[in-house]
Amino acid sequence: MTDVTQDTSVDLLVIGAGPTGLFSAYYAGFRGLSVGVVDSLPELGGQITAMYPEKAIFDVAGFPSVKGRDLVAGLVEQAASADPAYFLDRTATTLEHGDDRVAVILDDGTRITAGAVLVTAGIGKFSPRPLPAGEGWLGRGLEFFVPSFAPYAGKDVVIVGGGDSAFDWAQHLEPVARTVTLVHRRDAFRAHERTVEAVRASSVEIVTRAQVTALRGNGTVEEVEITVDGQQPLVRPAQAVVAALGFIADLGALQTWGLETDHRHVVVDSAMRTNLPRVFAAGDITQYPGKVRLIAVGFGEAATAVNNAAVAIDPTAHVFPGHSSEA
């Protein structure tokens, strides 16, 4: 993998190096297009690499179950066939339109000209929602992500949240940690029902209608105070606290480009075209009637976007490229 630093020109510039972006890079190569990929993170894989590399993923065709890091590794290997130019740890800030090209300027001043741009930026730039009681404890026992399970071996772990991340981490840490306690402010959960049932059937202690109101320890976390509605506070040992409270996300500089958006999402048509000429979008960042935000859907949208972008880049090209099995 080569990280490019100088100004360059490509047929298609992909903004976002998550699963959809990586598959877009591969498919651009399949269409005979030169491709560049920009991402504000220093590593390929987007949110999966940053937050869920150990998470098992079940909605990718052909894989009954695949770890996030293994899926990313396969996508990177597949994308390598297109010899993409990577621009990592850099953010696309400015979009300029020419007669038959567009130019994107990155935050380090790098200028990339392209025949078309494909935005696959997921949820955009994101930051974790803070745990009010956790101020000052980050890195001293409090974390927002669980990129690896090994550091939690033999520890008492408290997870705060009721969504998919909280329950996924509770399920995977239960056989590794000494104890796992999951704390949520409501009785209802946002997580997938099957995962909730699995956690309920495990040794994980689930405390609802509750909040973590204090972290205590000498230098690092040693215990937490849990306040339950109408009851005396509980105290649980904890050498690790994971705040899985979701994220604050926005489109960042993309919002200044003039893209039609639905608050956090970019509006596209059935060809994955945005309202701007030569600018397409695919994956979780897109919005259209009936949109379903799954990795599997993003892969299909990537192929649709690249095939239609190929025609925008070269009007003599055809939208349908033929089947890859015939290549």
pLDDT at site 88 = 93
pLDDT at site 164 = 87
Q: What pTM, to 2 d.p., does this model score?
A: 0.76
- The amino acid that residue 136 corresponds to is G
Average pLDDT over residues 300-323: 93
Each residue's pLDDT tens digit, 96-154: 998 899 999 999 999 999 999 999 998 766 678 899 999 999 999 999 988 889 999 99
Beta carbons within 10 angstroms of residue 161's beta carbon: 24
How far apart, in whole angstroms, are the C-alpha atoms of residue 61 and residue 85?
Answer: 27
Q: Is residue 2 included in any domain, yes or no?
A: no
Is 80 exceeded by the pLDDT of residue 295?
yes
Residues in the annotated binding site = 20, 39, 47, 52, 92, 126, 284, 325
Domain residues for 238?
Answer: 130-243
CATH assignment of the domain containing 205: 3.50.50.60
pLDDT at site 122 = 82
Q: Is residue 302 included in any domain, yes or no?
A: yes
Do 164 and 266 have their domain in common? no
Residue from 142, 26, 94, 108 nearest 254 by CA: 94
Do 240 and 153 form a contact (C-beta atoms < 8 A)? no
Is 70 exceeded by the pLDDT of residue 5?
no
pLDDT at site 326 = 64
Q: Output the average pLDDT for the chain.
A: 92
Residue from 254, 308, 296 nearest 33 by CA: 308
Determine the 3-state secondary structure of 325 from DSSP.
helix
Beta carbons within 10 angstroms of residue 315's beta carbon: 8
- Which region among 40-49, 190-199, 275-284 has the lowest average model confidence (pLDDT)? 40-49
Burial class from Cβ neighbours inside 10 Å (0-12, 13-18, 19+) for residue 254 reads buried
Sort strands 8-15 and 111-119 into parallel, antiparallel or unpaired.
parallel
| 4 band by pLDDT with thresholds 50, 70 and 90 | low
Find where tokens 């510039």 sit: 13
Is 60 exceeded by the pLDDT of residue 249?
yes
Q: Is residue 3 included in any domain, yes or no?
A: no
**CA of residue 235 relative to chain centroid, distance:** 34
pLDDT at site 230 = 78
93-102 burial code (b ≥16 CB/10 A, e <16): bebeeeeeeb
Do 235 and 278 have their domain in common? no
Is 70 exceeded by the pLDDT of residue 53?
yes
Do 117 and 142 have their domain in common? no
pLDDT at site 124 = 66
Phi and psi at residue 16, in whole multiples of 5°?
125, 120
Q: Can you name the residues that pair with 227 across neighbouring β-strands?
A: 211
Which tokens belong to 324?
A: 């890859």
| 214 band by pLDDT with thresholds 50, 70 and 90 | very high
Q: Is residue 1 included in any domain, yes or no?
A: no
Each residue's pLDDT tens digit, 258-282: 999 987 899 999 999 999 999 999 9
Each residue's pLDDT tens digit, 60-101: 999 999 988 899 999 999 999 999 999 999 999 999 998 899
Do 322 and 238 have their domain in common? no
Residues in the annotated binding site for FAD = 20, 39, 47, 52, 92, 126, 284, 325
How far apart, in whole angstroms, are the C-alpha atoms of residue 36 and residue 52?
Answer: 25
How far apart, in whole angstroms, are the C-alpha atoms of residue 273 and residue 172?
Answer: 39
Total tally of structural domains belonging to the chain: 2
Do 85 and 152 have their domain in common? no
